[in-house]
Amino acid sequence: MRHITTPLTEDTVRSLHAGEQVLLSGIIYTARDAAHLRMMDCIRRGEPLPMPLEGQVIYYAGPTPAPEGRPVGSIGPTTSVRMDACTPPLLARGLSGMIGKGLRGAEVVKAMKEHTAVYFAAVGGAAALMAQCVASLEVIAWDDLGPESVKRLTVRELPLVVAVDCYGEDAFAKGQKAYLDSLK
């Protein structure tokens, strides 16, 4: 298990390989469907985005309200493919990593290879466990979106798997192939 921190450097991204388990610490941002659409509006209008992208990681999650004494409630990943149309423009502006669940489309993988980025898979169904890794949460944009607002999180040892690396290797495809090969 590797320990990595944000912001991600190009060397760190290049050193990660599909299927590798990591513990991520540092600042990350949450953004889901509605926030991604607003980011695309900002890009179209030439306005700044609500967060820096260079070396940063976006977690596709909408945290639930925090219980007493905690910075966040449950914070599980959402299906990443829903952000695929918005992802290449963000990668082109320096985004280095994404966290979600499920597969990514060919255009996203192509953009990841072109811009040296990584896609991490978080364990679906473990939202309460993921919340234990969040040290702080601050809404930084579009509070009117509620759970889908953009939030800055400080995380400690968030458990992830490199789902797609910057070389285009896909842990999901590797796993399926290994399983099918085992049946022969």
Q: Which of 3, 17, 36, 115 is catalytic?
A: 36
| Contact (CB, 8 A) for 30 and 63 | yes
d(CA 75, CA 25): 16
| Contact (CB, 8 A) for 40 and 90 | no
Query: End-to-end CA distance of the chain, in Å?
Result: 31
d(CA 54, CA 91): 9
Question: How much is the pLDDT for 148?
Answer: 93
d(CA 88, CA 110): 9
Question: How much is the pLDDT for 153?
Answer: 97
Q: Clarify whether 36 is annotated catalytic.
A: yes
Peptide bond just before 159 cis, omega within 30 deg: no
Beta partners for 58? 29, 98
How crowded is residue 95: how many other Cβ atoms within 10 Å of its Cβ?
26
- Strand bridging mode 118-121 / 134-141: unpaired
Question: How much is the pLDDT for 90?
Answer: 98
pLDDT at 145 over 90: yes
Under 8 Å CB-to-CB from 11, ≥6 apart: which residues?
none
pLDDT at 178 over 80: no
Task: Please provide the average confidence, as pLDDT, over all residues in the chain.
Answer: 95
* DSSP designation for 141: E
Residues, the chain: 184
**pLDDT tens-digit map of 54-92:** 999 999 998 988 899 999 999 999 999 999 999 999 999
**pLDDT tens-digit map of 19-52:** 999 999 999 999 999 999 999 999 999 999 999 9
4: alpha, beta or left? (left if phi > 0; alpha if psi -120 to 50): beta
User: pTM of the entire structure?
Assistant: 0.95
